[in-house]
C-alpha cells in the first residue's frame, strides 16, 4: 500500500469562489442554476450553473481565471515550498469532447503558470480524461511522490460545458436536462484543486487515499449491451484489494453522477454485486446536484467535498468510496479514509 494524503483544497464553482464557500453551499444543497445565453431546440433557454467572475471572460480566459484562485488556495498551504518542487497535474476535457478548445492541454497549462507567475516541477502535465482525470492524476501523483521523492503534487481540474458546440452535441444525444427531457444533466463550469502529499503529522484532519482501482465498462451509454456494471465492479475490487478493505468497511460514497439515470443504475448494480452484509444506510453524495455537470473538474471537486466533510465532522463516517466514470467506459474507484496525524 502506498497511501496518499489529501491535505488542502481550492474550489471555484457556481455556488462559491473558494473551497469553504462552495462546500458550505453544497452541504446546504444550494445551487445557482440560472438561464444561460444558449437555447435548446424548443427555443427555451438552457439552464446551467455559471461561475460569476468579475469580468465576462470566455473560453481559455474563463478556465484560467477559475483555475488560478483554486490552485492558489493549495499553494498557500505548502508552507512556502518553491513551486519548482511541486508538480501540477491538470485535469482537462477529454480529447473527443465537441467544442473543446484547440491546443487546450498546452495553452491552459502555460496560461496558468503565467497568471500565477510560477513554474511547476518538470513532472507536471495535463490529464485529458474528463470525469476520470482526477483519479488518474492521483495515480501519477503517487508515482511522483514515492518514486521521484516530491513533497507535494497539486491535482487540479478546470472545465466548462457552457460552450455552444458542446451543448449542441449533448442536446443531439438527448443528454441535457430540458423541458422535453427529464433524463439529462444541467451543464456547468468549475475549477478545483487538491494538495496531495505523503502521510504526515498535521494538526488538521486530512483524507488518506488508500487504494485506486481501474475498470472498463463495455455497456456504455450509447451501447445496446445490457448493463451489469462489470467495469465499476472491477474498479471497486481493485481499489479494495489495494487498500485491504471491503465495501462493508465503507461508510458512504461520493460520485460524479450527474442526473442521468444510467449512472445511478450502474452505481446501484455495482453495490448489489459487491456488498454481502446488510447496511442500514449507505449514502451516495453527488455534488453535481449543486454545481452542475463540470466535466474534468468533478474529481477534485468530489474529493474537496469529502475533505471538508471529514474536517467538519458531518460525514456519515470515516471511510468513503469515490467512483467516477467516463462515457467511453473507463471507470475509476478510490478508497479514502479520514485521518489525523499521519496514518493514525
Domain borders along the chain are 4-197, 206-339
pLDDT at 342 over 50: no
Tell me the per-residue pLDDT of 19-66, one tens digit each, with 9 for 90 and over.
999 999 999 999 999 999 999 999 999 999 999 999 999 999 999 999
Q: What is the mean pLDDT of residues 186-195?
A: 98
Domain 4-197 is found in CATH 3.40.47.10: yes
State the average pLDDT for the chain.
95
Polymer length in residues for the chain: 344
CATH, range 206-339: 3.40.47.10
Return the pLDDT at 204.
Answer: 80
86-91 and 4-12 strand pairing: unpaired
pLDDT at 340 over 90: no
Tell me the per-residue pLDDT of 275-304, one tens digit each, with 9 for 90 and over.
999 898 999 999 999 999 999 999 999 999
Spatial CA neighbour of 185 closest among 249, 79, 263:
263
Which has more confidence, 102 or 343? 102
Residue 202: pLDDT band (50, 70, 90) is low
pLDDT at 72 over 80: yes
Q: What is the mean pLDDT of residues 150-173?
A: 97
Spatial CA neighbour of 3 closest among 261, 289, 207:
207
Q: What is the dihedral sign for C-alpha 11, 14, 20, 23? A: negative
Residue 327: pLDDT band (50, 70, 90) is very high
Distance, CA of 40 to CA of 77 (rounded, Å)? 43
Residue 201: pLDDT band (50, 70, 90) is low
Comparing 4-197 with 206-339, is the CATH topology the same?
yes
Kindly report the three-state secondary structure assignment for every residue of the chain.
Answer: CCCEEEEEEEEEECCECCHHHHHHHHHCCCCCEEEEEEECCCCCEEEEECCCCCCCCCHHHHHHHHHHHHHHHHHCCCCCCCHHHEEEEEECCCCCCCCCCCCHHHHHHHHHHHHHCCCCCCCCEEECCHHHHHHHHHHHHHHHHHHCCCCEEEEEEEEECCCHHHHHHHHHCCCECECCECCCECEEEEEEEEEEECCCCCCCCEEEEEEEEEEECCCCCCCCCCCCCHHHHHHHHHHHHHHCCCHHHCCEEEECCCCCHHHHHHHHHHHHHHCCCCCCCCCEECCHHHHCECHHHHHHHHHHHHHHHHHCCCCCCCEEEEEEECCCCEEEEEEEEEECCCCC
All cell numbers assigned to 59: 473560453
Distance, CA of 278 to CA of 295 (rounded, Å)? 33
Return the pLDDT at 343.
Answer: 45
Q: What is the mean pLDDT of residues 305-332?
A: 97
What value does the CA radius of gyration of the chain take, rounded to a whole number of Å?
A: 19
pLDDT at 200 over 90: no
* Reported pTM: 0.96
Tell me the per-residue pLDDT of 216-270, one tens digit each, with 9 for 90 and over.
999 999 898 999 999 999 999 999 999 999 999 999 999 999 999 999 999 999 9
- What percent of the chain has pLDDT above 90? 93
Tell me the per-residue pLDDT of 113-145, one tens digit each, with 9 for 90 and over.
999 999 999 999 999 999 999 999 999 999 999
pLDDT at 205 over 80: yes
pLDDT at 344 over 50: no
All cell numbers assigned to 263: 449512472
All cell numbers assigned to 42: 424548443
Amino acid at each position: 500500500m502506498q497511501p496518499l494524503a489529501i491535505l488542502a483544497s481550492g474550489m471555484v464553482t457556481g455556488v462559491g469562489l473558494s473551497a469553504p464557500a462552495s462546500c458550505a453551499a453544497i452541504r446546504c444543497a444550494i445551487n445557482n442554476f440560472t438561464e444561460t445565453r444558449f437555447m435548446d431546440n424548443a427555443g427555451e433557454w438552457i439552464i446551467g450553473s455559471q461561475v460569476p467572475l468579475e469580468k465576462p471572460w470566455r473560453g481559455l480566459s474563463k478556465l484560467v481565471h477559475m483555475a488560478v484562485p483554486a490552485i492558489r488556495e493549495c499553494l498557500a498551504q505548502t508552507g512556502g515550498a518553491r513551486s519548482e518542487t511541486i508538480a501540477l497535474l491538470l485535469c482537462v476535457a477529454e480529447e473527443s469532447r465537441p467544442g473543446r478548445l484547440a491546443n487546450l492541454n498546452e495553452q491552459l497549462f502555460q496560461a496558468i503558470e503565467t497568471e500565477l507567475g510560477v513554474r511547476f516541477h518538470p513532472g507536471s502535465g495535463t490529464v485529458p480524461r474528463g470525469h476520470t482525470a482526477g483519479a488518474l492524476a492521483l495515480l501519477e501523483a503517487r508515482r511522483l511522490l514515492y518514486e521521484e521523492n516530491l513533497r507535494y503534487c497539486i491535482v487540479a481540474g478546470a472545465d466548462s460545458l457552457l460552450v455552444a458546440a458542446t451543448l449542441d452535441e449533448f442536446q443531439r444525444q438527448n443528454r441535457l436536462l430540458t423541458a422535453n427531457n427529464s433524463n439529462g444533466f444541467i451543464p456547468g463550469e468549475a475549477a478545483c484543486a487538491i494538495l496531495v502529499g505523503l502521510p504526515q503529522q498535521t494538526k488538521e484532519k486530512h483524507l488518506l487515499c488508500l487504494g485506486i482501482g481501474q475498470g472498463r465498462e463495455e455497456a456504455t451509454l450509447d451501447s445496446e449491451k445490457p448493463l451489469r456494471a462489470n467495469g465499476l465492479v472491477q474498479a471497486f475490487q481493485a481499489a479494495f484489494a489495494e487498500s485491504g478493505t471491503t465495501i462493508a468497511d465503507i461508510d458512504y460514497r461520493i460520485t460524479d453522477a450527474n442526473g442521468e439515470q444510467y449512472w445511478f443504475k450502474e452505481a446501484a448494480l455495482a453495490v448489489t454485486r459487491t456488498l454481502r452484509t446488510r447496511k442500514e444506510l449507505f449514502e451516495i453524495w453527488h455534488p453535481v446536484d449543486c454545481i452542475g455537470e463540470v466535466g474534468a473538474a468533478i474529481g477534485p471537486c468530489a474529493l474537496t467535498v469529502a475533505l471538508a466533510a471529514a474536517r467538519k465532522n458531518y460525514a456519515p463516517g470515516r471511510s468513503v468510496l469515490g467512483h467516477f466514470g467516463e462515457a467511453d467506459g473507463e471507470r475509476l474507484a478510490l478508497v479514502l479514509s479520514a485521518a489525523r496525524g499521519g496514518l493514525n
